[in-house]
Amino acid sequence: EYISSYYFNKLEFTRFSSSVGKYVGFTELGVKNAANWNKDPSKLSVMRAQKETYCQHNIQVWYNNMLTKS
C-alpha cells in the first residue's frame, strides 16, 4: 500500500492511500484540499501510479535488506 500524508504543526490534515484511491481530509482545511485534489484526474492518476513505480519497483531491494539485518 502506498500512503502519502500531509502534515502541518504535527497534525495530519490530508492523506492519499492507494487502497482508497483518492485523497481523504482529516481537518477542515484537509477536507477542502482533498476535495480540490480529487477533482484533478491527472493528479489522481499520478498518485495511483506511485504504488507501481515506487513500491513494487523497490520491494525486492527492501525485502533483501530486511533479511540480512535480522
pLDDT tens for each residue of 19-42:
999 999 999 999 999 999 999 999
From the list 7, 61, 63, 16, the residue with the least C-alpha distance to 40 is: 16
Query: In which band, very low, low, confident or very high, does the pLDDT at 68 lie, cut at 50, 70 and 90?
Result: confident
Q: For the beta carbon of residue 2, count every other beta carbon within 10 angstroms.
A: 17
Whether the per-residue pLDDT at 69 is higher than 90: the answer is no
Break the chain into its structural domains and give their ranges.
Answer: 3-68
- Encode 15-38: b = buried (16+ Cβ within 10 Å), e = exposed: bbbbeeeebebeeeebeebbeebb
Cα gap 48→28, rounded to integer Å = 24
Q: To the nearest whole number, what is the mean pLDDT of the chain?
A: 88
pLDDT tens for each residue of 6-15:
999 999 999 9
Output the CATH code of domain 3-68. Answer: 3.10.320.10
Share of the chain above pLDDT 90, in %: 61
C-alpha cell at 10: 504535527
